[in-house]
A and B are shown apart, each in its own frame.
Chain A
Amino acid sequence: MTLPSRTLPGAATYDPQSAKARPTRLPLGVTLSSLFLLLVSIALAIPFWLTHYDPLVGDVTLGLQAPSAAHWFGTDRLGRDVFARVVYGARYSLLIGLAGMLISLIAGTLLGLVAGMKNRWLDEVASRLFDVLSAFPSVLLALLVIALIGPGMMNVAVAIGIAGIPKFGRLVRSQTQLVREADYVRHAVLYGRSSARVFITHLLPNVLVAIPVIATIDIGSSIIAVSGLSFLGLGPQPPTPEWGVMLAEGRDVLRVAWWPSVFPGIAITLTVISFTVLGSYWQRRFEGRNPA
């Protein structure tokens, strides 16, 4: 019997080893992340609130101007306002990332559920599928998919989606196995519940409850993957202001101008950090309620 790792509030049990505080994210981090994501949502939905410039049109004669009061992030090679492009670009990186993540989530969850149930053969088949999918490094797998179906926005989402299936699949599979072995599921038959009813009312909800948390953390890597593929020129094509595309364009003028490369990168990094921080915080609170 091991010592319980979490004690009840007010319980008398004292384990000196748990007296050390675990490193927790400052709630400050969570607040900041939420605010930033709020900003991003505004950029997604109503970008014209944040900027009056047109992201696709610029005056070439005003090209490559350093950040100033008029152009907060400066202008790029074609004279377009970089800040406007970053704001309008939010929807591409985010929505494609979200689409990719959703594809992985749905396919992975279905396969994971099937794999986690009692049938050993289905488990073997699904697990081998996960093995095969994860045998290809996700970037390369995405490259292969794009090679076969061509570049483009939705194709990038599909590519990332397929590459991400094993992550969700394995998670859902182990969660399903865990829940299946839990007393409240195994003993449900003693209370006269039919297997179907147990599956729907106990097993499924307790398996699925972990997913939104993982999804939130995963959007981050999805966004990075999208911008990566776009950087390589395989996603949305110029003049679309997707952040990865902007970084590719910025790379070309790096010798003379730093701002077209720095600001889109900051945007990606901050967005991913925010999702990760929120997701981790959510996960810690969730674990606190459901110790494994």
Chain B
Amino acid sequence: MWRNLLVRLGSSVLVLWLSVSAAFIALHSLPGKIADILAGDNEYPGLREAIAAEWGLDKSLPEQYLDFVGRLLHGDLGTSYVMRQSVGSVLQSQLWPTVQLALAAGVIAAAFAIAVALLTAGRSALGRKIASTLELVLTSTPVFWIGILLLMLFSFHWRFFPVSGAGGWNALVLPAITLALPTAGILAQVLREAMEKTLEQPFVTTVRARGLSETRVRSAHVLRHALLPIVTLGGWLVGGLLGGAVITEKVFGRPGLGTVTLNAITSQDVPVVLAVVLLAAFIYVVISTLLDIAYLFIDPRLRTQ
């Protein structure tokens, strides 16, 4: 098992490194000079020199690459030329609102999905039909439209919640629910299907034949099996939450990484966009790795290979 663990860790480090390299290659393979790309639309005295100095544009390409990787390893995300400050400081202030949103949405989605799955898996056909229709609608609806609808109903029409801004819990409710719903749809569907598939397995008959109540059969045995595909999906779900947060912030006018990124795109602030993307990739890899390691602990069949 420890061998599997090491391999998994090594693989993650490799993916991180490849992601960073891919970003670097993408940047340098675009038509036009790299200095122009980095400068974007801006022009002010000292800009070109600053770019050349930071990115080492007079050095050879391999050296530039090593510098790039080195900077990242030190946590230096570069400088935003548009805002004339380090990218790190730009992101720092904006990171928490986004993380807060993603976490809240994740918790809501998970609670919803587990409740739906436990209540409907393997039970009445009507319940299942309703649940799967609901899941279908949730996963087919664009997240920003859900946001707009909720905004319309609860903020403009009924004035329960603030229209925009980041003030306190009140402003978190609608965005969090918005972001949670599509994810909840997918989670519920996967969980429910996994539970139903597990309920058909022979070992469930054996467990029932021991006289366990149906609830215990599900909670003590079936749930564990059903969580396995979720664990596999985990990293992707987190990535989806982060991406969805970007869009949701736009709908609700919430500050956060989304606003930062979008502004950066419109003002052609490449270092910021690059940093956000790499940060997201880093989070994804870390979470996927943790989940894969958790998987190794949950499923003993993978331990002895």
Counting CB contacts under 8 A, is A126 at the interface?
no
Interface string of A126-153 (1 = CB under 8 A from B): 0011011011111111011011110100
The answer to whether A132 and B242 have CB atoms under 8 Å apart is no
Give every chain A residue within 8 A of B145 (Cβ-Cβ): 247, 261, 265, 268-269
| A-contacting residues, B6-37, CB 8 Å | 11, 14-16, 18-19, 22-23, 26-27, 30, 37
Interface string of A11-43 (1 = CB under 8 A from B): 000000110111100000000000000000000
The answer to whether B202 and A2 have CB atoms under 8 Å apart is yes
Q: Which of A3, A149, A265 makes the CB contact (< 8 A) with B149?
A: A265
The answer to whether A261 and B140 have CB atoms under 8 Å apart is no
Give every chain B residue within 8 A of A79 (Cβ-Cβ): none
Who on chain A is nearest to B132 by CB?
A23
Number of residues in B with C-beta < 8 Å to the partner? Answer: 60
Counting CB contacts under 8 A, is A122 at the interface?
no
The answer to whether B129 and A136 have CB atoms under 8 Å apart is no
| A-contacting residues, B219-268, CB 8 Å | 236, 239-240, 242-244, 246-247, 250-251, 261-262, 264-266, 268
Q: Which of B14, B16, B140, B274 makes the CB contact (< 8 A) with A220?
A: B140
Q: Given A135-B19, A269-B145, A254 and B246 touching (CB < 8 A)?
A: no
| B-contacting residues, A90-124, CB 8 Å | none
Q: Given A18-B200, A268-B142, A269-B137, A147 and B19 touching (CB < 8 A)?
A: no
Give every chain B residue within 8 A of A269 (Cβ-Cβ): 137, 140-142, 145
The answer to whether B129 and A23 have CB atoms under 8 Å apart is yes
Interface string of A221-250 (1 = CB under 8 A from B): 000100110011110000000001001001
CB distance from A143 to the nearest CB of B (A): 6
The answer to whether B140 and A276 have CB atoms under 8 Å apart is yes
CB distance from A151 to the nearest CB of B (A): 8
| A-contacting residues, B257-300, CB 8 Å | 261-262, 264-266, 268, 270, 273-274, 276-277, 280-281, 284-285
- Tell me the complex Cα distance, A254–B22, Å: 41
Who on chain B is nearest to A270 by CB?
B140
- Pick the most buried of A140, A151, A234, A244: most chain B CB atoms within 10 A of its CB: A140
Give every chain B residue within 8 A of A254 (Cβ-Cβ): 148, 151-152, 156
- Tell me the complex Cα distance, A14–B202, Å: 14
The answer to whether A135 and B152 have CB atoms under 8 Å apart is no
Q: Given A228-B142, A261-B152, A269-B140, A139 and B18 touching (CB < 8 A)?
A: no
Give every chain A residue within 8 A of B276 (Cβ-Cβ): 140, 143
- Tell me the complex Cα distance, A141–B239, Å: 10
The answer to whether B148 and A139 have CB atoms under 8 Å apart is no
Interface string of A249-289 (1 = CB under 8 A from B): 01100110010011001001100110011000000000000
The answer to whether B243 and A139 have CB atoms under 8 Å apart is yes
- Pick the most buried of A22, A132, A224, A227: most chain B CB atoms within 10 A of its CB: A132
CB distance from A279 to the nearest CB of B (A): 11
- Tell me the complex Cα distance, A3–B284, Å: 39
- Tell me the complex Cα distance, A147–B40, Å: 10
CB distance from A250 to the nearest CB of B (A): 7
Q: Which of B15, B196, B246, B268 makes the CB contact (< 8 A) with A143?
A: B246
The answer to whether B143 and A143 have CB atoms under 8 Å apart is no
CB distance from B270 to the nearest CB of A (A): 6
- Tell me the complex Cα distance, A136–B284, Å: 7
- Tell me the complex Cα distance, A272–B270, Å: 33
The answer to whether A149 and B30 have CB atoms under 8 Å apart is yes
Give every chain B residue within 8 A of A20 (Cβ-Cβ): 122
Number of residues in A with C-beta < 8 Å to the partner? Answer: 52
- Tell me the complex Cα distance, A269–B143, Å: 10
Counting CB contacts under 8 A, is B81 at the interface?
no
Give every chain A residue within 8 A of B242 (Cβ-Cβ): 137, 140
Give every chain A residue within 8 A of B236 (Cβ-Cβ): 134
Who on chain A is nearest to B282 by CB?
A135
Q: Which of A140, A148, A227 makes the CB contact (< 8 A) with B26?
A: A148
- Tell me the complex Cα distance, A23–B266, Å: 47
Who on chain B is nearest to A256 by CB?
B156
Give every chain B residue within 8 A of A227 (Cβ-Cβ): 142
- Tell me the complex Cα distance, A252–B191, Å: 38
The answer to whether B284 and A137 have CB atoms under 8 Å apart is yes
The answer to whether A144 and B15 have CB atoms under 8 Å apart is no
| A-contacting residues, B194-216, CB 8 Å | 196, 200, 202, 205
Who on chain B is nearest to A127 by CB?
B11
The answer to whether A140 and B243 have CB atoms under 8 Å apart is yes
Q: Given A23-B129, A139-B244, A143-B246, A3 and B202 touching (CB < 8 A)?
A: yes
- Tell me the complex Cα distance, A161–B79, Å: 30
Give every chain B residue within 8 A of A137 (Cβ-Cβ): 239-240, 242-243, 280, 284
11 contacts between A and B (CB under 8 A): A5-B200, A134-B236, A139-B244, A140-B242, A140-B276, A144-B273, A147-B268, A231-B144, A231-B250, A254-B151, A261-B152
Q: Known pairs A131-B11, A231-B247, A261-B145. 19 more at Cβ < 8 A?
A: A17-B200, A23-B132, A128-B14, A132-B18, A135-B19, A136-B281, A137-B239, A138-B240, A143-B262, A143-B276, A144-B26, A144-B273, A148-B26, A148-B270, A151-B265, A231-B142, A251-B148, A255-B156, A277-B136
Measured CB to CB, the residues of B under 8 A from A are 11, 14-16, 18-19, 22-23, 26-27, 30, 37, 122, 125, 128-129, 132, 136-137, 139-145, 148-149, 151-152, 156, 196, 200, 202, 205, 236, 239-240, 242-244, 246-247, 250-251, 261-262, 264-266, 268, 270, 273-274, 276-277, 280-281, 284-285
